[in-house]
Amino acid sequence: MPNHHVIYVPGLSDERKSYEFIINKWKLYGIIPHVHRVGWKDGENSFEQKLQRLVKEVRQYIKQGHIVSLVGGSAGGSAVLNVFLEVPEINAVVNICGRLRAGNNVSPTLEQAAAESPAFKESVKLFEKREPKMKEAVK
């Protein structure tokens, strides 16, 4: 019987661990929780490299026959949606308050947030470009 793995992708402050207490409670419901820290501020500017590491992790669980869902908080929202568009076998994806478009109606602006993490800006811009494909991806 397949296990249900849920990968939580935190936002720009992914070095903090305050959310781990909450996601560990998911075990009560038979879910196997994982945290995938993107490393938004690690100095590695390429979101593509970060994205491919997460895609690889997701595909590993799917290849083993498990159910995989993704939850992205804040900056992790655009990341998980970008993964969803690459791996259609994902069971479900949840965006919690994640920025999905550049826009200027949110503070801080994308440019201000990108000062700390160019990879975050790249993730948002990538999803914004791919968003029209969401309709096809959702079954």
Q: Which domain holds residue 39?
A: 4-137
Q: What is the pLDDT of residue 139?
A: 63
Q: What is the pLDDT of residue 15?
A: 78
Cβ(19)–Cβ(9) below 8 Å: no
Better-scored residue on pLDDT, 120 or 43? 120
Average of pLDDT values for 101-126?
86
Q: Is the full-model pTM beyond 0.85? A: yes
State both tokens at 54. Answer: 């997460």
How far is CA 115 from its chain centroid? 20
Average of pLDDT values for 5-24?
86
Residue 58 pLDDT > 80: yes
Q: What total of structural domains would you count in the chain? A: 1
Cβ(14)–Cβ(40) below 8 Å: yes
Give the whole-number percent of the chain exceeding pLDDT 70.
98
Average of pLDDT values for 55-64?
98
Q: What is the pLDDT of residue 45?
A: 66
Give the pLDDT band (50/70/90) at residue 14: confident
| CATH number reported for the structural domain that contains residue 8 in this entry | 3.40.50.1820
Q: Report d(CA 53, CA 27) in Å as an integer.
A: 24
Q: How many Cβ atoms are within 10 Å of 125's Cβ, its own excluded?
A: 16
